[in-house]
Amino acid sequence: MKFSEPGSEIAVGSALRGGALRLWVQDSGAGISPEDQEAIFSRFARGTNSSRTEGSGLGLTIVDSIAQGHGGWVDVMSSPGHGSTFTIVLPIQSLEMLQTARPTAPTSLTSLTNPGGTR
């Protein structure tokens, strides 16, 4: 939400596909250059568009570490000026192990409006 204009739509979704649960967040923000797309998952790394917001450069590193801890990964699809889609991919086998550890209640949310400002 930090990289989207106030009032812009942020879409959130999920799907079971190809033996994996896919959770995604999509915005219509500044987008990420191809050169930055790998680097932004490294600790303290910030993309070239990040100069307009504050942050430590740890958010995506943490998300990626959590996904990997459950046997998954994070994908990004983005191009400058056209927003970004981040997808967490979790293999079903990993989810089944989590479910036996502690059941959770499912929630459904399709979109949010970016109120602007900081978190």
Within a domain: residue 21?
yes
Comparing 56-60, 68-72, 83-87, which segment has the lowest mean pLDDT? Answer: 56-60
Domain ranges, residue 63: 9-91
**CA dist 101 → 21, 96, 98, 104 (Å):** 18, 9, 5, 10
Instruction: Specify whether the CB–CB gap between 14 and 21 falls below 8 A.
Output: yes
Within a domain: residue 113?
no
Within a domain: residue 100?
no
Q: What is the pLDDT of residues 13-33, one digit of tens each?
A: 999 988 899 999 999 888 888
Instruction: Specify whether the CB–CB gap between 41 and 61 falls below 8 A.
Output: yes
Within a domain: residue 1?
no
User: Residue 91 pLDDT more than 90?
Assistant: yes
* Cα dihedral value 49, 54, 45, 77, nearest 10: -50
pLDDT value at position 117?
47
Which stretches of 1-119 are assigned E, i.e. beta strand?
9-17, 20-26, 73-78, 84-91, 111-113
Instruction: Specify whether the CB–CB gap between 112 and 12 falls below 8 A.
Output: yes
Within a domain: residue 67?
yes
Q: Where residue 27 sits, what CATH number does that domain have? A: 3.30.565.10
Q: What 3-state class would DSSP assign to 78?
A: strand
How many domains is the chain built from?
A: 1
Within a domain: residue 104?
no
Within a domain: residue 119?
no
Within a domain: residue 98?
no
